[in-house]
Structures are given as C-alpha cells and as structure tokens.
Amino acid sequence: MQTSVTDALSRTNFTGWDWLIVFLYLSISIIIGMRMRKYIFSMTDYIGAGRAIGTALGVATMTGTEMGLVTVMYSAQKGFTGGFAAFHIALVAGFVTLLVGLSGFIVAKLRELEVLTIPEFYEKRFGRRTRILGGIMLALGGILNMGLFLKVGSIFIVGVTGMSDQGWALPTVMIVLLTLVLIYTVMGGMLSVVITDYIQFVVLSFGLLVAVFFVVASLGWQSLFTNIAANMGEAGFNPLVETAGFGWEYVIWMMITAGLVSCAIWPTAVARALAAESPQVVKQQYKWSSLSFMIRFMIPNFLGISAFVYIMTAAPDLRELFFPAENGATPMNNLYAMPIMLGRVLPAGIIGLISAAMIAAFMSTHDSYLLTWSSVITQDIIAPLRGEKLAPTTRIKLTRIIIVVIGLYILYWGLIYKGRDDIWDYMAVTGAIYFTGALAVLIGGLYWKKASSTGAFLALLSGMTAIFGLGPVQQLVGIEGVSGARVGLLSVVLTMLVMIVASLVWPDKDKAAINN
C-alpha cells in the first residue's frame, strides 16, 4: 500500500522551475512583512492597521484571509465527497454576507463603538469579567479551530509536488511554512497582513481561474456532470436527498456557520470591519465581499468535484487508492485528491503559479488568525487582568511572543490530532465553542436593552457544549453518531435561551445598558 501511495504522489509535472516561482513569491512576501515594521507605533497600528482600510482594500484583504489554503482544501474535500450538492455552502455564504452588507447587522454597530476586538465590546456592554471570559472562549475556540490549518496546507504542498506522504516530508513542510508566516506576521502586524493579503488575493484569484481552465480543458465540461450523475445520482446535486450526507439540519447549520458566523461573528473577518474607515465603508465592504464569500467555497468545491471525476475516469491507480475494492482496506486520505489531480493535469510552470497561489492562500489565513488570537489574549485577557497597566510597547512585544507560542501549538496539534471528521466539519465544531455563545451575546448586547451581564456570562459558558460535536469527544463520552451539525444547532438554541432567561432572572441593576 505504501509503495502504491508513494508512486501515485510521484507522478507530478512539478519541476525545478515551479520551485523557483514559489521561492520568488515567498521571498517577496517576507520582505514586505519585514518592511512594515517601521510603521508600527501603537497597538492600534499593530492590530488595527491604524483604522485606515478603505472599501477596495478591505474587500481584497477579507477575501485573502477567508479564502485560505485550508478553505480550498476543505471545500475541495466537500466537493469530492458531496459533488455539486456541496455548492449549497457557497450559495448560503454569499447570500447571508450580502444581507449583512445591506443591513450592517452586528458589524456596523461594532465599528460605531470603535472597539478593536469583540471582547472589548463585551466589557463596554457587560463588564470586565465578561470580557475576560469572552477572550478565553474566543482564544480557546479559535486556536483549536486553526489547529489543523498547518497540516492541511502542508498536505497540499506534499501532494502537488510529489513528495512522500510519510516520513520527513509532511512535518518538514509544516515547519518551513510556519516559520515563513511567523517572520512577517511578528514583524509587521496588521499592516503586514493587509498588504500581503492584498497581493495574495490577486495571486490566488488568478491562480484559481487558471487551474479551473486547465481542469475543464482536460476533463470536459459535460463529463463532470455526467460522471457525478452516474456515480452519485441525485445525491450529487441535491443536498436535501437523504443519501447526500447533508440534509436540512446541515443546510441550516451552514447558514449559521458559513453564512452569518463567517462574515459577522468570526473575529478574523470582523477585524477588517473594525479596521475600516467608517461604518458606511463596512457596509460597502460586506456587500462587495458577498460575491467573494460565495466564490471562495464554490471554486474549490468545483476542483474537488473535478478530482473525483478525474480519479474515476482517468486514473485507475488512484481509484484503487481512494476507493479500494478490497474489503477492510484503508482508503487514502481524500484531502490528497485535489492536489494530486492538479499535479498531473497542470503543465510545468503553471503548477508553480498555482502552488504559489495556494501558498499565498495559506499565508493569508495564518497571518490573520495568528494576529487575531494573540491580540485577543493580550488585549482581552492579560491586559484586563493587569488592570490595563500594560504600555503599548509591552503589549506589542507580548502579542509577538504569543504569536510564536500559538504557532508552535498548531505545529504540535497538527501532528498528533487523529480525528476522522471532515476538515470543514472539524472547524465548524471547534469554532462553535466560541461563536455559539458570542452569537447570543452580540445580538443580545447590541439589540436588546434587557440583556444582562449574568446572561452574557452564562451564555458564553454554554458555548462549551459545542465541543461534543467532535468525533474524539463523542467517543470519549459514548455518544458516537450524533452529527456535528445537530450538536451545533442545539448549542446555538441553548445559548440563546440561557441569554434570555438569565437576563430576565438576573437583570443588571447598577449599570445602564448601551444606548442602542
């Protein structure tokens, strides 16, 4: 089996010229990150880019962050396993983001309050203890959420370049990629992130379009539909069919996670809103971003669908690896399907361009996530516990140290985690540890005058119930088989009920609510 896997991975068109293209791109990104250091004078500069991001740059950098390599990989995985039915995730993401842009729901109000982080709003509305707990929940859920980013991104590099999937290759790629991201994120903060994300947005957009062109030219447009129909039936097109692996619960869960949470609750996206010039710019930014939020799922879904069709029609050696005929045989990790297909279908030179685009996507997500979680720990946990007595230079230094610590953690977690969840489902569940409580607290705090600090505190704690959606946790407590979508939806309902009931039972008596 291992010999077959190694042989399958080695059949790639990736050449030395492709490595040169990748090297040149990475060098440019690092130089930019290091040059941004001289423009950092305060914590607002470091994590908020001086609140000077306009609409066009905001759209580009938001897309660059949210369409990371891990997004490409998990969306391709969904396309590989679900066919065109997986497109429902893209459609709800675009539609909900458009609604947020038209209404300014949550994000515009947060920008009006001029906070740097979501937990900072918690303190303004509900007090310091809520901010500290909110910071802890946010950091816990967020860091767990990005725990597999590094491994998944490295799987792409290993797959497309033809390196072995065992031994030294995967951990070595993980270490190299992490080191590169840490260098320019630590140096330049949000300024570095915004500028490099803009470049990465351009490179990634062009690269994905080129990849789609060559894949369609190789497989044929009609072949994609006929083969999905032949192998998956109606389930390959309709997410509500029982055999599709999705269903109503999952679609509703996607409306919350891929839709509302991704654009209006998740801190890496909200950070762009909080760094915008004004609430009006925030609305424009989200309206234009709605298209990119849809595309960021749909194009990788399409590449995953293409990988499935390629394996079923043009690569019998891969078909045996991913869909072994032998009973009890372990199939190859389907995350490798899309990069292996690209390595075989794309010509030399083009593969280097696509790989640079994908590494761009990897870096644009990691830099933003590392900066967001580290700044939350500094601004919303450590600083409040110290009575806000930290000087700006101390806060920046502390944030940089935490960035490195988080980087080392995700390297460790990526190497040891053995859960069987699809990557997207893993991310939705781990993210729900934070966002189920945050959803209740943000909506209650911004739009309901009777929301109390006790209700907010207990709602945040209730978000921990989302962890029961993870496979290893279910196995530990003996509840295997319950879908992560069902657990997540129940957690959302629970936190909302806790927020309402606790606020009515224990109202705030000595603190006026924010004037909504």
Supply the DSSP string of 299-360, one letter for each residue: HHHHHHHHHHHHHHHH-HHHHHHHS-SSTTPPPPPGGGHHHHHHHHHSPTTHHHHHHHHHHH
And the tokens for 75?
Answer: 């969306």
Amino acid identity for residue 330 in this structure: T
Q: What is the pLDDT of residue 88?
A: 95
Q: Enumerate residues 6+ apart whose C-beta is below 8 A from 350.
A: 210, 214
To which residue do tokens 């390595």 refer? 343
Q: What is the pLDDT of residue 2?
A: 58
Task: Decide: residue 507, CB within 10 A, 0-12 exposed, 13-18 middle, 19+ buried.
Answer: middle
Q: What is the pLDDT of residue 41?
A: 47
Q: What is the pLDDT of residue 3?
A: 64
Calculate Rg over the CA atoms of the chain. Answer: 22
Reduce the DSSP state of residue 474 to 3 states and report it: helix
Maximum CA extent, the chain: 71
Half-sphere exposure of 514 (CA within 13 A, CB side): 21
Angle value at C-alpha 259, between 89 and 497, nearest 5 degrees: 120
Fill in the DSSP letter of residue 240: T
The answer to whether residues 149 and 409 touch, using CB atoms and an 8 Å cutoff, is no
Amino acid identity for residue 363 in this structure: M
The answer to whether residues 85 and 236 touch, using CB atoms and an 8 Å cutoff, is yes
Q: What is the pLDDT of residue 46?
A: 46
Q: Enumerate residues 6+ apart whose C-beta is below 8 A from 1.
A: 329, 330
b/e string for 27-37 if b means 16 or more Cβ within 10 A? eebbebbeebe
Fill in the DSSP letter of residue 16: H
Q: Which of 123, 126, 180, 179 is nearest to 376 (CA)?
A: 123
- Rounded Cα–Cα distance for residues 85 and 247 (Å): 10
- Rounded Cα–Cα distance for residues 321 and 310 (Å): 13
The answer to whether residues 143 and 409 touch, using CB atoms and an 8 Å cutoff, is yes
Domains of the chain with bracketed CATH: 2-323+336-417 (1.20.1730.10), 418-516 (no CATH)
Q: What is the pLDDT of residue 45?
A: 46
Q: Enumerate residues 6+ apart whose C-beta is below 8 A from 489.
A: 249, 252, 253, 256
The answer to whether residues 117 and 106 touch, using CB atoms and an 8 Å cutoff, is no
Amino acid identity for residue 241 in this structure: V
Fill in the DSSP letter of residue 276: B
Q: Enumerate residues 6+ apart whose C-beta is below 8 A from 365.
A: 65, 66, 67, 68, 69, 70, 71, 146, 149, 268
Helix (H) or strand (E) holding 497: helix 484-505
Q: What is the pLDDT of residue 33?
A: 59
The answer to whether residues 245 and 326 touch, using CB atoms and an 8 Å cutoff, is no
Q: What is the pLDDT of residue 6?
A: 67
Q: Which of 362, 295, 302, 308 is nearest to 340 (CA)?
A: 308
And the tokens for 28?
Answer: 């440019």
N residues, the chain = 516
Q: What is the pLDDT of residue 119?
A: 87
- Rounded Cα–Cα distance for residues 156 and 363 (Å): 13
The string of DSSP letters for 83-96 reads GGGGHHHHHHHHHH
Angle value at C-alpha 153, between 319 and 399, nearest 5 degrees: 165
Q: Enumerate residues 6+ apart whose C-beta is below 8 A from 103.
A: none
pLDDT by 10s per residue, the chain, length 516: 456 666 666 778 888 888 898 888 777 766 765 665 555 444 444 444 444 444 455 455 555 555 677 888 889 999 999 999 999 999 999 999 999 999 999 998 998 888 878 888 999 999 999 999 998 998 888 888 888 888 888 888 888 888 765 567 888 888 888 887 787 666 655 555 556 666 666 777 777 888 899 999 999 999 999 999 999 999 999 999 878 889 999 999 999 998 999 888 988 778 777 777 788 888 888 888 888 889 889 999 999 999 999 999 998 888 988 988 777 778 888 888 999 999 999 888 888 888 887 777 677 677 777 877 888 888 788 888 877 677 777 877 888 888 889 988 888 888 877 666 678 888 888 889 999 999 999 999 999 999 999 999 999 999 999 988 887 788 888 777 788 888 999 999 999 999 999 999 999 986 544 433
Amino acid identity for residue 360 in this structure: A
Q: What is the pLDDT of residue 514?
A: 41
Half-sphere exposure of 271 (CA within 13 A, CB side): 31
Q: What is the pLDDT of residue 176?
A: 85
